[in-house]
Structure 1
Amino acid sequence: MTRALIVIDMQRAFDDLSFWGTTTNPSCEANVEALVKAWQSSGEEIVVVRHDSRSAESPLHPESPGNALVSGVAAVDPALFVTKNVNSAFYGDPDLHEWLSARGISELVVCGIQTNMCVETTARMAGNLGYDVTAVLDATRTFDLSENIPGLGVVTRTADELMASTAVTLQGGGFARIATTADVLARSA
């Protein structure tokens, strides 16, 4: 097998909208589960990534109930399980790049949460490392973001705007191609 599905941070904490704010793409979890089922049926490799925050106050901290994977991903017996505390799955444990290289895997299909954070960072790094990357946009989701940026003032972007920006950046920058779940499933059939 030369292709792997990378499922990023599908954790229960992201269902807490009082913490994260307004989200987009309510179909994310179902689309991730459809991809997982297709990979299981084909016998291709699945990598599950979990974010273990170092901050004790974070809902993604290992001692928080929100650290747990959502049920559809928790039920997976992945070929590799990676934990990380930064945005990129390539800076996790065990070493994702080493594992992929040892198996001759050259094509990655990336999905999960958050679109513009861990999914985008992982896809960018994968592209820079020479992988053929597909980011399945409708199998990701993110949240509205507002930050006070020096020289710009308060900058606010909706979750939909952030998803669109990620898509343009990944595909336009040559890091990854953007696809829908239906596209990937049709290609896998």
Structure 2
Amino acid sequence: MTTALVVIDVQRGFDDPYWGPRNNPDAEENIAALLDGWRATGRPVVLVHHDSLTPGSPLAAGTPGNGFAAILDGVEAALTFGKNVNSAFHGEIDLDAWLREHDIEAVVLVGIQTNMCVETTARVGGNLGHRVTVAIDATFTFDLAGPDGAVLTAEELTRATAVNLHGGGFARIATTTEVLAELGQASASRANPA
């Protein structure tokens, strides 16, 4: 089974103080490790960028913040496209159709923000019948205030995303280490068919 790594919104604009406190300082290192694993096994990588329509957003198209973060420099992607909504399945490219055309049955999602674009992409992908895994430690998000002014921390939001996706049957939640171990096992089984 072919599995694509879908890297969501790993853009320079998320370094802006505009967003507030974030979690998971190891996210970029984990994303880089997964990219290395995908490169080493020749599996497809999909890069998605958010083209914000919000005035003044650090992610607005045509601004420096819209560009991919440095960890994506030199990454050869099978597909790169933009979106201006949360789900990568509703971008400039029909991701669902592209995956099916390329016989890609599963996706591993990483990127920013855990509880926004990563979670929404996982929900839509699961609803469309794709086998979705979220490498939760290869994502990060920011503290967020609710309508009553109560703030949930980025870590609380990440735990909620994991519960929502797992409990709702939208996606499997895994760590980078688990995904890389499975990648190695899949490579070994392809090299040594029974």
Superposed CA deviations along residues 63-86 of structure 1, whole A, max 9, x for unmatched, are 211111011213211000020000
Match of 1:158 in 2: 153
Match of 1:79 in 2: 78
For structure 2, the residue ranges without an aligned partner over 5 or more in a row are: 185-194
Match of 1:186 among 152, 167, 181: 181
1:140 is the counterpart of 2:135: no
Match of 1:107 in 2: 106
Equivalent residue of 1:106, what SS?
strand
How high is the sequence identity, in percent, across the aligned residues?
53
Displacement of 1:155: 2.8
Match of 1:15 in 2: 15
Distance 1:99 1:117 in 2: 23
Distance 1:73 1:56 in 2: 26
Match of 2:162 among 167, 172, 182: 167
Amino acid in structure 1 at the alignment position of 2:9: D
Superposed CA deviations along residues 89-142 of structure 1, whole A, max 9, x for unmatched, are 001112111100101111110000000000000000000000111000000000
In the TM superposition, structure 1's runs of 4+ consecutive aligned residues that sit over 4 Å from their partners are none
Displacement of 1:175: 0.4
Distance 1:96 1:81 in 2: 10
Match of 2:187 in 1: none
Equivalent residue of 1:4, what SS?
strand
Distance 2:80 2:153 in 1: 31
Maintained 8 Å contact 1:139/1:181: yes
Superposition RMSD in Å: 1.0
Amino acid in structure 1 at the alignment position of 2:133: T
Amino acid in structure 2 at the alignment position of 1:49: V
- Number of residues paired by the alignment? 184
Amino acid in structure 1 at the alignment position of 2:14: F
Displacement of 1:55: 2.7
Of 93-102 and 110-119, the range deviating more from structure 2:
93-102
Distance 1:27 1:185 in 2: 16
Distance 1:169 1:127 in 2: 12
1:5 is the counterpart of 2:9: no
| TM-score normalized by the length of structure 2 | 0.92
Displacement of 1:154: 2.2
Amino acid in structure 2 at the alignment position of 1:173: G
Equivalent residue of 1:26, what SS?
coil
| TM-score normalized by the length of structure 1 | 0.94
Maintained 8 Å contact 1:82/1:96: no
Distance 2:150 2:39 in 1: 41
Distance 1:120 1:55 in 2: 20
